[in-house]
Amino acid sequence: MNYRHAFHAGNFADVIKHIVLTRILTYLHQKQSAFRVIDTHAGAGLYDLTGDEASRGGEWRSGIARVMQARFTPQVADLVAPYLDIVRAFNPQRDLVAYPGSPLIARALLRPQDRLVACEVEPGARKQLLSSLYNDTQARVVDLDGWTALPAFVPPNERRGVVLIDPPFEDKDEFSKLAQRFATAFAKWPTGVYVMWYPAKDRRSTDELARRVAVSVGESDRGDGDCLRVEFSVAPQSAEAGLVSTGLLIVNPPWTLASELRATLAELEKPLGQGGAGRYRVETVRP
């Protein structure tokens, strides 16, 4: 799978991933101690929804555009508010013209004591990210491959934080690499929160990834020992379909996250579903 993000910015997978990220960071605000966000495959930071790439696919129209217009119950409206407020801040004229990627979403939720490390090696994307975070003393853009950065930047000095692993899945061995590199990083920092994104296209690959991650977590005697699996589908999978199912593995999730996501994803089934309601699952993975 070749996942050039400019074509897909603001799609349903971004919506799910970024809601999860904002819920985790909001939870970390409950303690005054500093935290670090490490984004291993950060991308360009900000995406022009009126540009050629985003316009060609138009996936944001069935993603963030629908969510911005959706009506939620008061409980879920409160849960998605931090995410939607950040998106609105990049679109002050109300029309959706830009979509913030994970590093800018994370940056918007940093307090003065918190820090962000964003890794990106693709020259064009890195240049855009540097421009977005220019002269920012709380954010550092690193010209380093995310797989190399993953074990290199843990544990952070802050001792609390989130590692977002969102690779492009351009190589056939990316699932295996994700499981292996996570295990290495987790052995060094078993108390961090890890969020791993994957395209849920092949059940055998995704089940094996979840199993391997859960085994790594279960073998640790220092971590909280939880691995949450979240998947959301907007349409049935078929050989002809593109990306219609997205997945996340969250290690050491906040204790509130599973219930928050069950409530939120249930109300996203209708606006994000294509040709009918979507479907989701939120479950704890055991070794």
Whether 220 shows a pLDDT value over 80: the answer reads: no
Pick the closest to residue 39 from 121, 159, 135 (CA basis): 121
pLDDT beyond 60 at 107: yes
Residue 166 annotated to the active site: yes
Torsion of CA 115, 130, 151, 170, to 10 degrees: 140
Q: What are phi and psi of 229, to 5 degrees?
A: -110, 125
Q: Mean pLDDT throughout 278-282?
A: 92
**Predicted pLDDT of residue 1:** 38
DSSP 94: S
Sign of the alpha-carbon torsion through 2, 4, 8, 13: positive
Per-residue pLDDT for 155 more than 90?
yes
Residue 103 has pLDDT above 90, yes or no: yes
C-alpha span between 266 and 269 (Å, rounded): 6
Q: Does residue 223 surpass a pLDDT of 60? A: no
Tell me the mean pLDDT in the region 160-184.
93
pLDDT at 241: 66
211 pLDDT band, cuts 50/70/90, is: very high
**Fold for domain 5-284?**
Rossmann fold (3.40.50)
Provide the pLDDT for residue 154.
96
**pLDDT, greater one: 93 or 246:** 246
- The answer to whether the bond into 155 is cis (omega within 30° of 0) is yes
Q: Can you tell me the mean pLDDT for 33-44?
A: 97
Q: What is the pLDDT of residue 240?
A: 64
pLDDT at 2 over 50: no
The three-state secondary structure class of 14 is helix
pTM: 0.95
The predicted-structure confidence for 134-154, as pLDDT tens digits, reads as follows 999 999 999 999 999 999 999
Set 166, 207, 221, 224: catalytic member: 166
State how far Cα 74 lies from the chain centre.
24
The percent of residues above 70 in pLDDT, for the chain, comes to 96
The per-residue DSSP string of 52-78 comes to: HHHHHH-GGGGTHHHHHH----HHHHH
For residue 165, the cross-strand partners are 196
Q: What is the mean pLDDT of residues 176-185?
A: 96
Which among 71, 84, 66, 69 is positioned nearest to 26, based on CA atoms?
A: 84
Q: How far apart are CA 208 and CA 205, in angstroms?
A: 5
**In whole angstroms, what is the distance from residue 188 CA to residue 35 CA?**
17
| Domain residue spans of the chain | 5-284
In this prediction, residue 4 carries a pLDDT of: 59
